[in-house]
Amino acid sequence: MCPLLLMEHRAETGTAEAGSGVFLAILRPLWYRYPFEIAYKKGFINMKFTDLNLPEIVMKGISDAGFTECTPIQEKTLPLALAGKDVAGQAQTGTGKTAAFLVALFTRLLSHPRQTKENHPLALILAPTRELVVQIEADAQLLGRHTGLTIQAIYGGVDYQKQRSALQEGTDIVIGTPGRLIDYLKQKVYSLKEIEALVIDEADRMFDMGFIADLRFILRRLPPFDKRQNMMFSATLNQRVMELAYEFMNLPEKVSATPEKMTAERVEQVLYHVASKEKFSLLLGLLRKEGMARTMIFVNTKREAEFLCDRLTANDFPSRVISGDVDQKKRLRILDDFKSGKLPILIATDVASRGLHIDGVTHVINYDLPQDCEDYVHRIGRTARAGAEGKAISLADENGAFHLEAIEEYAKQKILVEWADSDLYVKDYKRTKPKPKSSGGLGASKGAPGRSKSFGAKPKPQGRSKPQEGEKVTAASVLTDHAKAESVGAGEKKQRRRRPRQKKPAGGGDAPA
């Protein structure tokens, strides 16, 4: 217990020592004025949500979510945000930063009731991916269940008219991706003039995915930065992220809850060096050995993901693929099956490495090592979330090994290397052929006008057909047929002569393709 709290308890129970009353009288004003600086920052006690003087209806939502003690990023962010200051927070994935800005957001909106009769949004939360928007909305619905605030998710790929109607009817909090929000904004479906609070989540990912122009478009249509509260959260607060913060925020307080290691502490990391031709054989052996109940496998390309999915399914490991071009309804259905346990293996590209909070992910496998070292941290962050334990296995082939040094330097740690025994490789697995690439080359389209099925094949001669039964063959008819055949052949020769030839350029090089 904090020494000051202990003295308060002794004073109330009449067991205080002599002279402590004077000392308590001096420190009590400081305690009530700077409670977090005195107790929590010094590490005397762990901060709990009950210490933050939150509205009762917000506390009910926190209790429903099962939260009691604050995580490090919540401990550093909430006192500042609840005081109305702008915050730029840095924390790794799975540390509870979503709950941090949602609690601060609900508290502010409840303390500042709507002043006008118009139903334009009061708060805006921006996220780079649809998965992250869906996850934030789910957390917001849980934490804000008793607040009476309306929450609407806006993202592409699904329910265009439904989302449009919801914005027209009015909502308090909008959570969305920049593209769909700008679409409705240009149609004047809603207005940003009443925004009181702004949250930008995964700001560094906004830059990586090319959303910075759309982000600036939205930010320039908000009320002045000193008329609203701004919060920004990111895994890395690099120079370009901080430039955005200083441009659109009101002197933000920079807080960081990043430990010495960039990866989660409870993730066991293992690396296998393997040839690319033996990766699938080793993967099958690991799946059989580890007994992975809920596993995410990351690859670098959509084509590799589909090929891997076909091979795993053929070898009695049901799996599905989630990538950037999968239909949104199908994507949500796959995620629901994975969360419920119906689907044991989920294969994903880096589009799913952020924003997915799925409880109980036991293993993460990097079938391909990522080319971006930051993606490695976000990939393995899908396991060991919220204090749980997990295992991350990486397969480094002759191509992926080139990225290993940068990954270890960014993660600030060496990855444990293990060498697989020969028994771990599965040789007798079922082979599948990769799907052919769609080619737009010459002769690729079926039924193309003016082209034969096989390029360069000669057409069949169009001579006289066999005589029908009872039909007489005369010399005149035979001569007529020969004349027709010669005329057709001459016509084809003329067509061949008329075909333009490609001339070589004056420089003597090859003709342009």
Question: Could you read off the pLDDT of 386-438 as tens digits, one per residue?
Answer: 667 889 999 999 999 999 999 998 888 899 999 999 999 999 899 887 776 65
Question: Could you read off the pLDDT of 82-124 as tens digits, one per residue?
Answer: 999 999 998 876 778 999 999 999 999 999 888 777 789 999 9
Residues 6 or more apart in contact with residue 425 via CB below 8 angstroms: 278, 281, 282, 285
- Enter the tokens of residue 123: 């708060």
| Number of residues in the chain | 513
What is the residue type of 199? V
Residue 183 CA, distance from chain mean position: 21
What is the end-to-end Cα distance of the chain in Å, rounded?
78
In the block, tokens 């709990």 appear at: 48
**Cross-strand bridge partners of residue 416:** 270
**Residue 6's pLDDT band (cuts 50, 70, 90):** very low
Question: Could you read off the pLDDT of 448-471 as tens digits, one per residue?
Answer: 444 444 444 444 455 445 554 444
**Cross-strand bridge partners of residue 396:** 273
Burial, 236: exposed, middle or buried (Cβ in 10 Å; 0-12, 13-18, 19+)?
A: middle
Averaged pLDDT for residues 167-179: 94
What is the residue type of 305? A
**R_g of the chain computed on alpha carbons:** 33
Question: Pseudo-torsion of CA 132, 137, 139, 144, nearest 10°?
Answer: 160
Q: What is the DSSP string of 356-425?
A: ---TT--EEEESS--SSHHHHHHHHTTSSGGG--EEEEEEE-TTGGGGHHHHHHHHTSPPEEE---GGGS
Burial, 180: exposed, middle or buried (Cβ in 10 Å; 0-12, 13-18, 19+)?
A: buried
Q: How far is CA 3 from CA 70, 240, 452, in A?
A: 21, 43, 90
On whether the pTM is more than 0.95, the answer is no
Q: Which domains does the chain have, with CATH numbers?
A: 1-45 (no CATH), 53-256 (3.40.50.300), 267-424 (3.40.50.300)
Dist CA 394 CA 159 (whole Å):
38
Residues 6 or more apart in contact with residue 417 via CB below 8 angstroms: 270, 271, 272, 273
